[in-house]
A and B are shown apart, each in its own frame.
Chain A
Amino acid sequence: MTGQGLAARLWSERWAYVFLLPTLLLFGAYTVWPIISSLYYSLLDWNGLGAERPFVGLENYREAFGDPLFWQSLGITLTIIAVTVPLRVALSLLVALVLNNPRLPLARLFRTALFVPAVTTTAIIGVVMGFIFDPAGGPVNQLLVDLGLVDQPIDFLGDPSTSLWTVMGVHMWKWFGITLVYWLAALQTIPVSVYEAARTDGAGSWAALRHVTLPMLKPFLIIIALLTAIETMQIFDLVLTMTNGGPYFSTLATEVYIYQQAFATSTPRLGYGSALGVLFGIFTLVLAAIQAIGIRYANRARSSS
C-alpha cells in the first residue's frame, strides 16, 4: 500500500525529477563528488603528486586542531566577515535606494560606475592596488599627505597592522556593485502601484521608505546577507594577488592558508589541506546554522509578542 503510494507520488511528480535532472547530474559530478573526494584525501598523507598516499586516518585532523596558524586564519576570516558583510549590505542598500529613484538623472551611469570594479579581473586589481596604496608617491598617500591628514605615508599593504583593513576595504570596493545589484533587483519586485498607493495616502518619501519599502525588502535581507557572506569567504583570489596572506600572516584568510598547504608550499600537502578544508566547511556550516536558528528565534519571538 505504502509502496504503491510512493510509486504513485513519484510518478505524479515525474516532471519535478526531470527538471531536477540537469542540476543533479552536473552538481553531483562537479560539486558533490569533489567534496567526497576531499573527505577521502583528508584521511591520507598525500602531497598530491606522488603515487604514494598512505592512509593515516584522522591524523591530519589531529594536527589541524593543534595548528596555531589554522586558528589564527579562522580568526582573520571571521573578522573579515563580521566587518565587511554588514557594512557592505547596509551601504549598498543605502545607495540602491537612492539609485532606485526613477527621477534621478544619470542613475544608470552611476550604477555602472559602482559596478565596474566587480567585472575587473582580480589579478589586475591586485596589481593596481599595489600602486594605489603605494607609500612612496602612490595617489592615496599623496592625497593624505597633501591634505595634512598624516605626516608620514602609511604603508597600507606592507604593515601588518593596516594590511588586513586595506584588503577588506579593497574587497568591499570590488564587490560592492554585486550587492548593489541584488538590492536593485529586490527593489524592482516592489510594484510601482505600492508607491502610488502610499503617495495617495499622503505619505512623504521618508515615511514611504520606512513603512512601505523597507518592510517589503526584509525577506531579501537574509538572502542578500547570505550571498554576500558566501562571496566574502571567497576573498581568496584577492588576498592571494594582493598580499599572499602576509605580511607575517596578517591577512592569512583560511582559504589562503588551505591553498598554501595543499599546493603552494615547498612541501605541498594535499591531504592536510583537504582536512583543513573539511574543518573550515564544518565551521562555516555551524556558523550559518547558528545564524539561521537565531533569525528563526527572533522572528518567532517577534510574531508571538
Chain B
Amino acid sequence: MKAAANRLRLGIWAQVILLAVICLVWIYPLLWIVSASLKDSLGVFSGGLGLIPETFHFENYVRAWRDADFGLYTLNSVLITLGTVALVILRCALAGYVIARRNFVGKRVVVGVLVATLFAPGGLTIIPVVELSDLMGLLNSRTGIVLALAGSGHVAAVLLYAGYFSRVPRELEEAAVMDGAGFLRTFFRVMLPLAGPVTATVGVMTFLAAWNNFLLPLVFTFSRPDLRTLSVGMLAFRGTNSTDWSGLAAAGTISLIPLLVVFLLLQRYFVEGVAGAVKN
C-alpha cells in the first residue's frame, strides 16, 4: 500500500518536471518579448537562444507609456472589454436558457439562423456594421464599440449556455417555482449561478476577443483618438519605414499584464467556484 502511494508520488513528480519543461518552452516566445522590451534597437536582432540583455533599457517602457498614450488606452480597453463581456454573458445566457428550456414558437428558426451564421467569414462585415452604426449615431462612442463587439457573433457562447442548461435537472427549476420564484428570479437566482463554469469560459473567450480586436475600435474612433484601445495604440510603433521593435515589445508586455491578472482570477473561479448546486 505504501509502496503504491510512493510510486504514485513519483509519477506525479515526473509529471511536474515534464510539464515544467514543456511550459518553459511554451512561454519562451513570450519571455523573448519581455527580453526584447529591455534591449536597444539593434540588440533586438542579436539572435541566439539567450534572453538576458547586455544592458537593460527601461526607457522603452517610458516611451511606450508616454508616446503611445498607454494610460488612456488601457482605461479604454478595460472599459470596452468589461462592457462587452458583461453584455455578451447576459444576452447569451438569456438566449441559451430559453433555447434549452422553453419550447416557444419560432425556436427552430432562431436556432437555425444562429447555427448558419456560425460559419460566415468575419472579415467582410465591417462595412455594413459601420454604415449601420453611423445611421444610429453610434460611431465615436465607447457604447457603439461595445454594442458592435457584443452583437457580432458569439453564437458559440449561446450554444455553450444552451448545452449546459439542457443538462441541469428539471427538479431544480421546479423547486424554485415551488418556492414561489417567477421566471426572472428562477433564472437569475438559480440557473445563472449554476452556469458558473460556462460563464467563466464565455467570459474568457469574449475578453480575449474584445481585448485583441483591432479593426472595430480603429474604425469607431477615427474622430476621437482619445477613445482608442491598446491594440489600436500599438499602431504608433509601426511606421512607414521603421518599426520600433523594443517599444512594441514593451507595449506588448504592458498590455499582457491585465490579461494575466484576469486569467489568474477567473481560473481560481473555475477551480473553487464550481457551482455547489450540481453536487447537491
Whether both chains belong to one complex is answered with yes
User: B208 in the interface, Cβ–Cβ < 8 Å?
Assistant: yes
Residue of B nearest to A174 (CB): B29
Apart from A48-B127, A125-B29, list 5 A-B contacts with CB within 8 A.
A19-B95, A121-B230, A124-B248, A124-B249, A270-B127
Docked-complex contact B183 and A115, CB < 8 angstroms: no
Is A112 an interface residue, CB under 8 A from the partner? yes
A26 at the A/B interface (Cβ < 8 Å)?
yes
Is A293 interfacial (CB 8 A cutoff)?
Answer: no
Residues from chain B with Cβ under 8 Å of A37 in the complex: 125, 127-128, 131
A288 contacts chain B at the CB level, 8 A cutoff: yes
Of A19, A118, A138, A259, the most chain B CB neighbours within 10 A belong to: A19
- For B160, the chain A residues whose CB sits under 8 A away are 223, 227
Contact, CB under 8 Å: B151 / A26? yes
Q: Is the CB of A258 within 8 A of B148?
A: no
**Is the CB–CB distance between A19 and B127 below 8 Å?**
no
Interface string of B107-127 (1 = CB under 8 A from A): 000100110111111111111
Also in contact, A22 and B124, with CB within 8 A (given A108-B271, A143-B49): no
A33 to B278, CA, bound (A): 39
A-side residues, CB < 8 A to B, are 6, 9-10, 13, 15-17, 19-20, 22-24, 26-27, 29-35, 37-38, 41, 48, 98-99, 101, 103-106, 108-125, 127-129, 131-132, 134, 136-139, 142-143, 173, 178, 181-182, 184-185, 188-189, 191-193, 219, 223, 226-227, 230, 233-234, 236-237, 254-255, 258-259, 262, 270, 273-274, 277, 280-281, 284-285, 288
A-B interface pairs (CB < 8 A), number: 252
- B47 near A142 (CB under 8 angstroms)? yes
Known: A26-B151, A112-B260, A121-B212. A185 touches B200 (CB 8 A): yes
A124 / chain B contacts, CB cutoff of 8 Å: 33, 234, 248-249, 252
Complex CA gap A284/B121 in Å reads 9
> Which residues of A are found within 8 Å of B274, using beta-carbon distances?
188
- Would you call A262 and B123 a contact (CB within 8 A)? yes
Given contact pairs A123-B231, A189-B197, A32 touches B12 in the complex (Cβ within 8 A) = no
Chain A nearest CB, measured from B26 CB (Å): 6
On chain B, which size bracket covers the interface? 35 or more
A116 touches B27 (CB 8 A): yes
Closest to B212 in A: A121
Q: Are B98 and A16 in contact (CB under 8 A)?
A: yes
Which of B20, B98, B200 has the most chain A CB within a 10 Å cutoff? B98
The answer, among B30, B95, B105, for a CB contact under 8 Å with A120, is: B30
Q: Is the CB of A223 within 8 A of B159?
A: yes
A119 lies within 8 A of B91 (CB):
no
B62 at the interface (CB under 8 A from A): no
Which residues in B have their C-beta under 8 angstroms from that of A116? 27, 30, 256, 260, 263
Determine the chain A residues whose CB is within 8 A of the CB of B263 once the complex forms.
112, 115-116, 119
Contact residues in B for A134 (Cβ distance below 8 Å): 47
Distance between Cα atoms of A10 and B271 in the complex (Å):
41
Expressed in whole angstroms, the minimum distance between the Cβ of A130 and any Cβ of chain B is 10
Report whether B264 and A112 are in contact in the complex, using a CB–CB cutoff of 8 Å.
Answer: yes
Assess the B163–A223 pair: CB atoms within 8 A. Answer: yes
From A29, A191, A227, A274, B278 is in contact (CB under 8 Å) with A191
Q: Assess the A32–B113 pair: CB atoms within 8 A.
A: yes
